[in-house]
Amino acid sequence: MITKIQGYNPAFKAAQVNIVATSDNHGNFLTWPLLAQTVQNNKKDIFIKSEDASTLNLLAIAGDWFINPSKKGFLTSPNATNGSVQNKFLNNFINFVRKQAGKDANFDALFTMGNHDLDAGDTFIYKVMKNPDMKTLITNVDIENSPGIKKIMQDSDNVVKSHIYVIPDDKNPNIQHKILFLGVTIPSMQFYNPGLLKQMTFFDDCDKKDAYLTENDLQNTFMSVKKEVDKFKSENPKGAVILMSHTGAPISKMIRKYVPDINIILNGHDHKKLTSMKDHTNIDSLGKDNEIIKAINIKFDDDGDLEKDVNTYFSQTTSKVDLDKNPLQILLYKLLSEDLKPLVSLTDISGDEAELVYTEKDIRCKNSELANWLTSAVKRTVRDITGNENVIVGIQSSIIRGGLKNDSNNLDIMKVFDGVSEDLSNIQIGTLTGEELVGLIVENITSNLKDSKRNTIIQWSDIQVNRTLISDILNKESNKSFEDAIKIRNEATNEFQLVNLEDCYTIAIGEKFLVKNDIVWPGKIRDRFTSLDETYDRLLRSYIASEEINYQLKITPKTREKRII
């Protein structure tokens, strides 16, 4: 697809920019080699005239290359963290893409932080920023209130608010074509990673989900971009402007509205693959989990006007011929050989093979055998630690990021609870009355009903929630009360029965829920909870690696029961 930005005559190419763009890779070790192979298999179409002096070649990573950097659990390297291994893959991916452009190509790599890149706080990302082969764009970081960023910017020229590339004209040595790159990160750090950023502050930082951010919430973010763009355009009226935006398309569209001189927005965070065109600004969304890359070829003509050509390449359709020779596949075998071996034997109680399937859309609002099994598995370990047979485990479904099947390996197991930072995944245990528990659950369901894609449901080990009835009550289509929609397992009979509002119930839930300030109930109850000093990931691993289970997982009637109605 060719989209006109300004007038262009293809016979008079004067300069060119080739961009390989990716985002939301989420530390997916198993598919990074295939993403790299996708670049290699299509390099002739991606890197057009790549070794010409008038061509600039770029790799653009619009956030969330990393996820959960502080997590451990590798079998090959038990002391290694997620972040350290993911960083090795980043360095190798940059070098691999550089080679595809050609040994004489003018090449650079650009990186913008995503919320998951900050899962381990700012200390980790500072180490990433020191990479000499990559520029990190921090346009909406409030540098004056970020002492850590100030320090690293003094030590490195590769951490910048924006960067201008100068490309020589292919005919006239007196003409130079310029292109400005900027990078914006979703500013809701108090929501995504509360308390983890010690020496870095974003403009408009707040405790709001991106889905609820309005234009009024983001005025300083818009101004941080507009200031850089206005200065550049005043000096280079025909210069091109590209924004790497890890904000999701709705906010990228707000930025486009406030800063109309942007030519291209490379959009991450919301996992979409679409392209949106308005006026002369394209928003190209970059998908997730190494499913796609987008190649953007920009041409300046002899008058300095622009044309853009966008191609999407799907890694699932990439030929795997010679994949074993791919440097990232070789790195995968070298660093994680033990982690690639099949571990799990998964059957149902009848002996048939089974799968605990992960479906992001469904697990956020529907009954899920995977969520049922996980809450029950974590409960078993919590019960052993506490000695409390009646503890109830709750898991925010957004932290579940992967399923299990027969022959799943250790990397699959490590991905299961990758939706929350290990630093905020500590399990907290406390006691609520039945009335309080009903209030907490109804608040969660009410939020989920408003937007099930963004406001995730809490899945419970021993609570049955009638989501449909709560919806009917809210819509005044039922005269029943909220407590009629919530039942708790009777451990003696194994049957669900109505909650007793005056009874006390012990629940275990993650710290990430209890520190929330954008909803009411966490603030009411958090002081009554204490930490088990264990995370969901460690508790799950303890369960499946225990002598009793030994990775022989079974789907039981309890796994199949209806807990969300």
* Domain CATH number, residue 544: 3.90.780.10
Of the two residues 468 and 455, the one the predictor is more confident about is 468
Cβ atoms within 10 Å, residue 205: 20
Amino acid in the structure at residue 283: I
Whether pLDDT at 285 is above 90: yes
Strand order in the sheet with 486-489: 463-465, 486-489, 496-498
Does residue 552 belong to any structural domain of this protein? yes
User: Is residue 482 in a domain?
Assistant: yes
Chain centroid to CA 119: how far?
10
Is the pLDDT at 540 greater than 80, yes or no?
yes
Same domain, 306 and 399: no
- Res 55: pLDDT: 96
In a domain, 177, yes or no: yes
395 - beta bridge partners? 459
The stretch 224-236 carries a mean pLDDT of 97
What are the contacts of 325-331 at 24+ separation with CB within 8 A? 326/33, 326/36, 326/37, 326/40, 326/96, 327/36, 327/92, 327/95, 327/96, 328/32, 328/33, 328/36, 328/89, 328/92, 328/93, 328/96, 329/33, 329/37, 331/88, 331/89, 331/92
- Asked if residue 324 has pLDDT above 70, the reply is yes
Query: Any bridge partners for residue 465, and if so which?
Result: 486, 564
> Is residue 488 assigned to a domain?
yes
202 located within any domain: yes
Tell me: do 150 and 212 sit in the same domain.
yes
Classify 286 as helix, strand or coil: coil
Residue that finishes a domain, picked among 289, 307, 334: 334
**pLDDT tier, 9 (very low <50, low <70, confident <90, very high otherwise):** very low
Position 553 scores a pLDDT of: 95
pLDDT in the model for residue 12: 56
For residues 206 and 191, the answer to whether their CB atoms sit within 8 Å is: yes
pLDDT at site 212? 86
Same-domain check for residues 328 and 230:
yes
Which tokens sit at 148?
A: 């850590």
Same domain, 214 and 304: yes
Q: Within 13 Å and on the Cβ side, how many CA atoms surround 103?
A: 0
Average pLDDT over residues 319-340: 95
> Is 390 inside a domain boundary?
yes
Q: How many domains does the chain have?
A: 2
Biggest CA-to-CA distance, the chain: 86
pLDDT of residue 465: 98
Residues 100 and 238 in one domain: yes
Query: Where in the sequence is the domain holding 203, given as residue range(s)?
Result: 2-334
pLDDT tens digits, 385-441: 999 989 999 999 999 999 999 999 999 999 999 988 888 889 999 999 999 999 999
Rounded CA gap, 496 and 492, in Å?
Answer: 11
Torsions phi, psi for 475 (to 5 deg): -90, 10
Tell me: do 367 and 455 sit in the same domain. yes
- pLDDT tens for 41-61 read 999 999 999 999 999 999 999
For residues 426 and 351, the model is more confident at 426
- 437 and 316: one domain? no
End residue of a domain, out of 278, 306, 334: 334
Mean pLDDT of the chain: 93
> Are 306 and 346 in a shared domain?
no
Question: Tens digits of per-residue pLDDT, 214-223?
Answer: 999 999 999 9
Which pLDDT belongs to residue 340?
A: 97
| Statement to judge: residues 320 and 347 lie in one domain | no
Half-sphere exposure of residue 148: CA atoms within 13 angstroms, side-chain side:
17
Calpha distance 286→276 (Å, rounded):
12
Of residues 516 and 459, which shows the higher confidence score?
459
Q: What is the pLDDT of residues 364-374, one digit of tens each?
A: 999 999 999 99
Q: Quick one: what percent of the chain has pLDDT higher than 90?
A: 84
**Is 565 part of any domain?**
no
The predicted pLDDT at position 1 comes to 33
Domain identity same for 448 and 527: yes
* Cα–Cα separations (whole angstroms), residue 487 to 46, 50, 460, 498: 57, 64, 11, 4
Rounded average pLDDT over 7-30 = 81
Shared domain check, 499 and 365 = yes
Instruction: Give the model confidence (pLDDT) of 476-524 as tens digits.
Output: 999 999 999 999 999 889 999 999 999 999 999 999 999 988 899 999 9
- Name the pLDDT band for 305 (thresholds 50, 70, 90): confident
pLDDT by residue (tens digit) across 141-167?
Answer: 999 999 999 999 998 999 999 999 999
pLDDT score at 276: 80
Q: What CATH number is attached to the domain comprising 56?
A: 3.60.21.10
Task: Identify whether the C-beta of residue 182 lies closer than 8 Å to the C-beta of residue 162.
Answer: yes
- Kindly state whether residue 184 falls inside one of the protein's structural domains: yes
**Do 200 and 61 belong together in one domain?**
yes
pLDDT band of residue 173 (cuts 50, 70, 90) is confident
Which of 279, 311, 334 represents a domain boundary (last residue)? 334
The beta-strand segments (E) located in 62-171 are: 107-112, 135-137, 159-160, 162-168
